Structure 1
Amino acid sequence: MHDVAITGTGVFTPSQIITNDELVAAFNKYADLWNAENAAAIEAGVAEPKEHSSSEFIIAASGIENRYVLDKEGVLDPSRMFPSLPSRADDEPGYMAEIGCDAAQKALSEAGCSAADVDLVICAASNMERAYPAIGVEIQQLLGAGGFAFDMNVACSSATFGIQTAADMIRSGSIQSALVVNPEICSAHLEWRDRDCHFIFGDVATATFLQRDQAVKGDHFKVLSTRCATQFSNNIRNNNGYLRRTHDQMEDRRDMQFMQNGRKVFKEVLPLVSQHIADHLTDAGVAAGDLRRLWLHQANKTMNDYIGKKVLGRTPEPGEQPNILQDYANTSSAGSIIAFSKHSSDLENGDKGLICSFGAGYSVGSVIVEKG
């Protein structure tokens, strides 16, 4: 059996930003248009008028202030309210492969490695651009890596499930290294016209490079233990499964885009995640007090505050549980990796931390690491 280390991470951040105020202005214009077009039905009591949103509502509900997207214009068009991502020719790189490759190259650079050092590429994300060929294989080709690649989808836990899969292969000796890439184009499967969720998601791509501990060249985090769990629930669901809608499908079934029953998710996921982490720490022989940092899934500030307090037995100190969702919003599987990538360099040798994701499925994945 071989020891495993995370030797590099990378984050691709789109250049376009949507602030809460910009998003609210567009949504409210859309709501006004819809109310005007359906005035007769509203007057007759057949339809309910759409309420306005507000920046105050978004902050209170989520803690989100901004989000990065690949196409700002389409999202903020009140007559459209979803991104315009034109289909690319088959001989052009796909959107997910393109942004995933950017994050992967940054992770390799941080590790002091090149594509020649990669044995496996896993594209782990919540919604794939196509069914096949695998996005992971396309990223492998764009990087110029050898070995093999595949896709996996465990919604918001895809990154941590990918890390466990890669780590298990490295431990067993079947490979020496792996890139876990998380290209999340969440703007394309969010329902921007639904006041309850129109603010939740943003776009990003992250990558994590794992190697045998013996191959480490510089700073790294030893992977001490990993754990994954799933429990079926319909409370977070997307029946479509495709990234893009056409203009003709703008009034399609509501359940073909992201949907969630927020109250049930809060009630059921919080104890599930807290207990999962507690059990993982106990079985790994790590005390909660030994954790210098929690890098949690970036879905909602209230959820993270609750989990952090439950795990540590106290309110986390500033910096112990970094949030990035105020800047990036919810980026599905990439969120915990963004937090880890941006808030880990200050730790010292021997410091321990935990990466944790949770989401649709339900799914929970946790990775206990130690700075080496």
Structure 2
Amino acid sequence: MHKAVIAATGLYTPEQSISNDELVAAYNTWVDQWNAANAAAIDAGEIEPKSHSSSAFIEKASGIKSRFVMDKEGILDPSRMAPRIPARSNDEISILAEMAVRAAEDAIAKWGKPVSEIGAVICAASNMQRAYPAMAIEVQQALGIEGFAFDMNVACSSATFGIKTAADLVANSDKAILMVNPEVCSAHLNFKDRDSHFIFGDVATAVIIENEANAGPGGWNILGTSLQTQFSNAIRNNFGFLNRTHLPTDTAEPIPSDGLTDKLFVQQGRKVFKEVVPMVSEMIVEQANALGIDPHSLKRLWLHQANINMNHLIGKRVLGREPTAEENVIILDEYANTSSAGSIIAFHLHNDGFEVGDKGLICSFGAGYSAGTVVVEKRE
């Protein structure tokens, strides 16, 4: 059986970006307004006042310095604190599909082959904007691809699960698979929560996987993949059609900062750190050993861009020493956490300097818990 090959990758980055200073200024203005509006209850000891955030706190906690977003104005409006993304008619391309198409076009241009050589589309992302029709089918139509398409969601691990799925599909196929990861993470983030208001950004990535027998020169052999899931409530988002009666009827308005906040992203950060770091580190080492590869010899790690402290510790455990910045790629300082797209951004932007035969690792981890590893080798 022929190996699967990562033939090309693509990236779409929104034009707008928010620095930590800008985000903090908006958040602290909202805090001051909230504290003033609830002054009587605060003075009576009925509720606790909200605390300010700071750029120093954000960078120390996460390593994030800025993030790209689809709507800067709505997020930085203290009276709103949420992106304003207008609804589109059913005759217009959806926002996620549009982002995915932009990333896919970048990948296809680098690939250098016609879309007629693609036989399927997988849209793997943490949040789909609707239940159906599938975003993947809309992307398929927009690009003029024949064959089939489907969506899949494994939260932040969606891309590695998508690569594994695509690799299995092309094993006995003459057609390539396009896997896209459009993420408007700012739309499910609670910008009124000091502990998480800084975490996410928006972006889209794309990966083209094809059978080695059909691949041209270059690209990356997929030497092996490993997937793992373990149920946990430590990262959760309860938004869904079954709880629609509890949400504001005007969907243009942001979800308020009250009992409905569990319909947005929530996590127990310390618990996630404590449980996910050993799970992922051990999984990577076990996968490398199973392939007969010394994990210390991996030239580069393209990890999920969740938190710089998590990534540094995982890198240290896998490589058996402090990794260099070149070995353990960090892009979350500029992009923040982009869920499923993070490891693919890192791989897309920083895969230079490899000789034929050099090996690296794409890895993602997140809600579920879910984790996926893809060991790759530079091709001739």
Q: State the TM-score, normalizing by the size of structure 2.
A: 0.95
1:306 equivalent in structure 2: 313
Indicate how the Cα distance of structure 1 residues 32 and 175 shifts in structure 2: closer, same or farther if over 3 A, else same.
Answer: farther
Conserved 8 A contact 2:80-2:254: no
RMSD: 1.2
- Is 1:321 the equivalent of 2:328? yes
Which structure 1 residue ranges, 5 or more long, are not aligned?
none
Mapped to 2, the partners of 1:246 and 1:203 lie a distance apart of 19
> More displaced, 111-120 or 306-315?
111-120
SS at match of 2:368: coil
1:16 equivalent in structure 2: 16
2:200 equivalent in structure 1: 201
Cα deviation for residue 285 of structure 1 reads 1.1
2:264 equivalent in structure 1: 257
Mapped to 1, the partners of 2:194 and 2:70 lie a distance apart of 21
Cα deviation for residue 246 of structure 1 reads 3.4
Question: Which AA in structure 2 matches 1:82?
Answer: A
Mapped to 2, the partners of 1:272 and 1:325 lie a distance apart of 21
Mapped to 1, the partners of 2:29 and 2:4 lie a distance apart of 52
1:122 equivalent in structure 2: 122
Cα deviation for residue 84 of structure 1 reads 0.3
- Is 1:144 the equivalent of 2:151? no
1:75 equivalent in structure 2: 75
Conserved 8 A contact 1:2-1:170: no
Which structure 2 residue ranges, 5 or more long, are not aligned?
242-249
Q: State the TM-score, normalizing by the size of structure 1.
A: 0.97
Moved over 2 A (4+): 248-252
- Is 1:89 the equivalent of 2:89? yes
Cα deviation for residue 282 of structure 1 reads 1.0
Mapped to 2, the partners of 1:50 and 1:269 lie a distance apart of 29
2:276 equivalent in structure 1: 269
1:332 equivalent in structure 2: 339
Mapped to 1, the partners of 2:363 and 2:187 lie a distance apart of 25
Cα deviation for residue 109 of structure 1 reads 1.1
SS at match of 1:205: strand
Indicate how the Cα distance of structure 1 residues 265 and 82 shifts in structure 2: closer, same or farther if over 3 A, else same.
Answer: same
2:252 equivalent in structure 1: 246
Indicate how the Cα distance of structure 1 residues 199 and 214 shifts in structure 2: closer, same or farther if over 3 A, else same.
Answer: same
Cα deviation for residue 184 of structure 1 reads 0.5
Cα deviation for residue 98 of structure 1 reads 0.1
Cα deviation for residue 179 of structure 1 reads 0.8
Mapped to 2, the partners of 1:175 and 1:86 lie a distance apart of 40
Cα deviation for residue 41 of structure 1 reads 1.1
SS at match of 2:361: strand
**How many residue pairs were aligned?**
370
1:360 equivalent in structure 2: 367
Cα deviation for residue 113 of structure 1 reads 1.7
Cα deviation for residue 345 of structure 1 reads 2.7
Question: Which AA in structure 1 matches 2:137?
Answer: V
Indicate how the Cα distance of structure 1 residues 158 and 175 shifts in structure 2: closer, same or farther if over 3 A, else same.
Answer: farther
| Identity, % of aligned positions | 57
Conserved 8 A contact 2:227-2:372: yes
Conserved 8 A contact 1:120-1:175: no
For 1:98-152, what per-residue CA distance to the aligned partner results, in whole angstroms no more than 9, with x for missing partners? Answer: 0000001111111112221111100000000100000000000001111100000
Mapped to 1, the partners of 2:34 and 2:319 lie a distance apart of 47
Indicate how the Cα distance of structure 1 residues 164 and 25 shifts in structure 2: closer, same or farther if over 3 A, else same.
Answer: same
2:245 equivalent in structure 1: none
For 1:305-344, what per-residue CA distance to the aligned partner results, in whole angstroms no more than 9, with x for missing partners? Answer: 0000000100112301110000000000000000000000
Conserved 8 A contact 1:237-1:258: yes
1:153 equivalent in structure 2: 153
2:31 equivalent in structure 1: 31
SS at match of 1:30: helix
Cα deviation for residue 249 of structure 1 reads 3.6
